[in-house]
Amino acid sequence: MTLRNPKNRRNITANKSATRRAVRAVVFHVLFLIVVYLVQALVLPYLSLPATPLLLPLAAVGAAMGQGGTRGAAMGLIAGALCDISFLRPVAGFTLLLTVLCLVIGVLSDTVIARGLLSYLVLCLFTLVVCAAAQMFQLLVFVGVPPRALFAVAGRQTLMSLPFALVLYPISRVVYKTDKDS
Amino acid sequence: MRTFLTKRNIIILIVAIVIVAFAVVSLNTDGGPGIFTRALEGLSSPLKRAAGSVARTFESIFGYMYEYEDLVRENEELKREIQNYKLDYSDSTELAAENDRFRALFGFSARHADFRYADTAIIAWGASNWASSFTINKGYANSTEVAPIKVGDAVITETGTLIGRVTSVGRVDSTCVSVVDTTFSAAVKIGQLGATGLARGDFALMGDGKLRLSNIVGESAVVAGDSVFTSGMGGVYPEGLLIGTVIGVYSEESGIGVYAIVQPAAELLRATYAFVITDFYPAP
């Protein structure tokens, strides 16, 4: 391929623009996840809420729906690591969980699931339920906490987190729109 | 003669005579300025004032330009001095607060001369709904005490109130669980009548910031209002650390025995400074 050919020059320029736009979208998502982490870890726990909402999984779902399988898994990895850090736990449980979840959600968004508010809310609900189940597992099996108490906290956590999905959805859409134009 | 008395020469002669006449008239024998002098002064005075005004203007401009740099330099030095004073004041305020904490700890440590402490600050609380944990700002790299921080060390306030224990030690910080966490447990003494039991975190009570007292021996002696202290049994925690106060005694679900609910003595979420007991002599 030579650069004397105008068609080749146009292709190279177009590829560079697409790469720049992709990098910009990834940077926006990472910054967005960091802001969400700061709100989840440094603001919400000190409010007198029935349960501290989980925002990072919701942001990760939005990123996965917009970025697809591979990039969605990368965003899930970052969101999961930030989740583990906010819980003062080793960076392992949520890191792995959100990576897998976002990979699956990203692939489904690319193939069968329509990208819209309803799909986003359903996927957020599913993610929150899975996260609560993962958090309950250790306490249920190894500590012997009664299931009723665990389900009560899981329910409060899910219900307190879902309204924030309505706030995070348009922000994710803005970033997704930027990515879609590339 | 005829050539001397030309029109021009006559005019000059008249002017000279006039000037001489003015000079004679301006002579003032009483010492003051004469008429001529006063007239000249009157004409020159506005000129002098104008010249003086211009000179002062130039003087001020020149002085402004010349002294401006000195003023700027002096202003910067004064700002630096003020900044240093502010830092010194802030340091002294922090030192005073730290002094107060150590003074409070001294009252507690006087009764526990065998304790070794590490002074720490609580830098973050966990955001989880399933655990109650916090991070302190000392780890194995910046713990300069004789006995460094290790897993299992008790974390207390300056008044000897137990607020948690160390669960993992990092390089510059450590993670601790609070007394209401489900993984916390400690052998305790209750009240003044020698009842003993096991204080442990309960998931159902954790959200309310309370913990459970179970396996109570001497349960008839336990009433609401009793203080709960660590007993030192097992050597995990030192003896005599205040955990909290009994707020209610209830029958177990099985119907055998009783349990109590304990309100921690420390306001956990408001705690910002803490001490880690890095070494002590276990109770016999």
- CB contact (8 A) between residue A150 and residue B129: no
Q: What band does B206 get if pLDDT is binned at 50, 70 and 90?
A: very high
- CB contact (8 A) between residue B204 and residue A40: no
**Mean pLDDT of chain A, nearest integer:** 86
Q: From B161, B222, B160, select the one nearest B190 (Cα to Cα).
A: B222
| CATH code for the domain in which residue A151 is found | 1.10.1760
Beta carbons within 8 Å of B175's beta carbon, 6+ residues apart: A88, B133, B134, B135, B166, B167, B168
pLDDT at B151: 92
Query: What stretches of chain B adopt beta strand conformation (E)?
Result: 116-125, 133-136, 154-156, 162-169, 174-178, 185-190, 195-201, 211-217, 227-230, 242-251, 258-264, 273-279
Q: What band does B36 get if pLDDT is binned at 50, 70 and 90?
A: low
Q: Is A1 contained in some domain?
A: no
pLDDT at A79: 93
- CB contact (8 A) between residue B128 and residue A89: yes
Q: What band does B25 get if pLDDT is binned at 50, 70 and 90?
A: low
Which is more confidently placed, B281 or B235? B235
Q: Is A15 contained in some domain?
A: yes
Å between A152 CA and nearest CA of chain B: 9
**Beta strand pairing status for B195-201 and B211-217?**
antiparallel
pLDDT at B106 over 70: no
Determine whether A121 is exposed, middle or buried from the number of CB atoms within 10 Å of its CB (0-12, 13-18, 19+): middle
pLDDT at A180: 47
- CB contact (8 A) between residue A87 and residue B183: no
User: Does the ipTM surpass 0.90?
Assistant: no
* Cα(A115)–Cα(A112) distance, integer angstroms: 9
pLDDT at A4: 65
**Mean pLDDT of chain B, nearest integer:** 82
Nearest-CA residue of chain A relative to B131?
A: A87
Instruction: Domain of residue A162: give its range.
Output: 6-179
Q: How many CA atoms, within 13 angstroms, populate the side-chain half-sphere of residue A51?
A: 21
Model confidence pLDDT, tens digit, residues A106-150: 999 888 888 889 999 999 999 999 999 999 998 899 888 889 999
pLDDT at B34: 62
Which is more confidently placed, A70 or A12? A70
Q: Is A44 on the interface with B (CB under 8 A)?
A: yes
* A11-25, B107-121, B172-186: range with highest mean pLDDT: B172-186
What domains sit in chain B, N to C, each tagged with a CATH number?
1-110 (no CATH), 116-279 (2.40.10.350)
* Percent of chain B at pLDDT exceeding 90: 29
pLDDT at B199 over 90: yes
* A3-7, B48-52, B78-82, B224-228: range with highest mean pLDDT: B224-228
* Cα(B66)–Cα(B51) distance, integer angstroms: 22
Å between B121 CA and nearest CA of chain A: 16
- CB contact (8 A) between residue A143 and residue B203: yes
pLDDT at B18 over 70: yes
Over residues B220-249, the mean pLDDT reads: 89
* Percent of chain B at pLDDT exceeding 70: 81
Å between A178 CA and nearest CA of chain B: 32
Q: Into how many domains does chain A fold?
A: 1
